[in-house]
Chain A
């Protein structure tokens, strides 16, 4: 398993991660987006969206608490 117990990330790493999540968790209607997880009965877009939102909110909170970092995109 990859890095479940990784070291706490630095501010710079957080920004890089924010940028990465902005790409890999695109909120748009992706081409496969209406494929439902048939085994779990969950809409993929919803899963992706909530993941994106909660991940980015977590990042924003940690960034804004320092107050000197650019605001990550919505």
Chain B
């Protein structure tokens, strides 16, 4: 069926996520398109849903809007608001945006067919929230001196370059810059590994997301870690204290930390994770 075949008033079901048990939705925030959030229930699980116009949310219309941040933005905010509100009341497995079903029967079938992985995911996120940490490494002016002090290979290259003839110096300086880059990259990976494993000790689960490909040169900040932690609510203070110690240790070396959360457990709703 193509989008053109939908009647103007035909609707599909947008699912935000699945909550454990029943939830009084009378106080829930409005969802996408300012729509009311309703529950489709099956045996102690509730899919949080809104009805949206099929013509807007299927096929070409939605693909066409894919790159339009002005369109996606408010809907992303609404999607998150519904899940954040629900997560404050019961455990919730969030679905990714634009998870759509043809009708409430299809939603109920999904709840039945996926009962086992959903129950498993609900159990894992019980009493926990997601926190996301990004660590960036900046090239600080004192870097080069610190690198030479810690790495004899770099100190040697610096010495050779300083004593070389202009012709040789060019090649040596290129070699030196490459060695510095490698060393910075190695140091970044080591800090990322330390930070991730330290915080994992205070978390139920950890997911590391892929980093963006490095851009040319060392200008600006480069991400060395993008990780999400599923943290029990009674251990959040502990996680923050551990992070505080890491910041104190690594910030003077040019590492910057950005923690966001609590989020609904977006990164922990994967089957089999």
Q: Which A positions have Cβ atoms within 8 angstroms of B?
A: 1-4, 6, 9, 14, 17, 19-26, 28-33, 35, 37-42, 44, 47-48, 50-51, 54-55, 57-59, 67-68, 70-74
CB distance from A25 to the nearest CB of B (A): 5
Q: Which residue of B lies closest to A38 (CB)?
A: B102
> How would you classify the secondary structure of chain B's contact residues: helix, strand, loop or mixed?
mixed
**Are A54 and B66 in contact, with the CB atoms below 8 A?**
yes
Given A21-B76, A44-B99; A71-B215 close (CB under 8 Å): yes
**Are A35 and B1 in contact, with the CB atoms below 8 A?**
no
**Are B99 and A17 in contact, with the CB atoms below 8 A?**
no
Chain A residue contacts of B168, Cβ below 8 A:
none
**Are B59 and A42 in contact, with the CB atoms below 8 A?**
yes
**Are B266 and A39 in contact, with the CB atoms below 8 A?**
no
Q: How far is it, in angstroms, between the C-alpha of A51 and the C-alpha of B269 when the chains are bound?
A: 19
Chain B residue contacts of A72, Cβ below 8 A:
212
Chain B residue contacts of A41, Cβ below 8 A:
1
> How would you classify the secondary structure of chain A's contact residues: helix, strand, loop or mixed?
loop
Chain A residue contacts of B62, Cβ below 8 A:
47, 51
**Are B66 and A35 in contact, with the CB atoms below 8 A?**
no
Chain A residue contacts of B263, Cβ below 8 A:
23
CB distance from A24 to the nearest CB of B (A): 5
Q: Does B202 contact A (CB under 8 A)?
A: no
Q: Does B48 contact A (CB under 8 A)?
A: no
Q: How far is it, in angstroms, between the C-alpha of A21 and the C-alpha of B266 when the chains are bound?
A: 11
**Are A23 and B223 in contact, with the CB atoms below 8 A?**
no
Q: Which B positions have Cβ atoms within 8 angstroms of A?
A: 1-3, 12, 15, 30, 32-34, 54, 58-59, 62-63, 66-80, 93-102, 106, 110, 114, 117-118, 121, 130, 132, 134, 136, 207, 209-213, 215, 220-223, 226, 260, 263-264, 266-267, 269-271, 273
Q: Which of A2, A31, A39, A73 contacts B226 (CB 8 A)?
A: A73
Q: How far is it, in angstroms, between the C-alpha of A71 and the C-alpha of B54 when the chains are bound?
A: 35
Q: Which residue of A lies closest to B103 (CB)?
A: A39
Q: How far is it, in angstroms, between the C-alpha of A57 and the C-alpha of B72 when the chains are bound?
A: 13
**Are B96 and A33 in contact, with the CB atoms below 8 A?**
yes
Chain A residue contacts of B97, Cβ below 8 A:
24-25, 48, 51
Q: How far is it, in angstroms, between the C-alpha of A29 and the C-alpha of B264 when the chains are bound?
A: 17
Q: Which residue of A lies closest to B16 (CB)?
A: A24
Q: Which of B2, B15, B213 contacts A74 (CB 8 A)?
A: B213
Q: How far is it, in angstroms, between the C-alpha of A66 and the C-alpha of B227 when the chains are bound?
A: 26
Q: How far is it, in angstroms, between the C-alpha of A50 and the C-alpha of B60 when the chains are bound?
A: 12
Chain B residue contacts of A6, Cβ below 8 A:
70, 73-74
Chain B residue contacts of A67, Cβ below 8 A:
220
Q: Which of B66, B68, B270 contacts A29 (CB 8 A)?
A: B270
